[in-house]
Amino acid sequence: MTLNFIFSFRLSIYLLQMLISTQLGSIYVRNNQILPKFPSNHNLKITLAYVILRSLHIG
C-alpha cells in the first residue's frame, strides 16, 4: 500500500465522520479544533470543502 492510498483512505473516513456529525447538527474535529456549528444541510458543501482543505493541510 502506498502512502497516497493510506492518506485517501483516512481522508474518506474523516469525511464520513464529518457527514455523520453534520447530520447531527454540529461538527467536531479531532485535532483539538472545533469548527463553527452549521445548520444540518444549509452549508454542507461549504463545510465539506473547508474540511477537505483542513485535512489536506493536516495531512
12-47 pLDDT tens trace: 778 777 776 655 544 455 544 555 554 555 566 667
Tell me phi and psi for residue 35, to 5 degrees: -80, 160
Q: Given a cut of 50, is residue 59 above it in pLDDT?
A: no
- Domain coordinates of the chain in residue numbers? 3-58
Distance between CA atoms of 45 and 23, rounded to whole angstroms? 13
Number of Cβ within 10 Å of residue 47's Cβ equals 20
Number of Cβ within 10 Å of residue 44's Cβ equals 16
pLDDT of amino acid 53: 73
Tell me phi and psi for residue 12, to 5 degrees: -65, -45
- Specify whether the CB–CB gap between 22 and 29 falls below 8 A: no
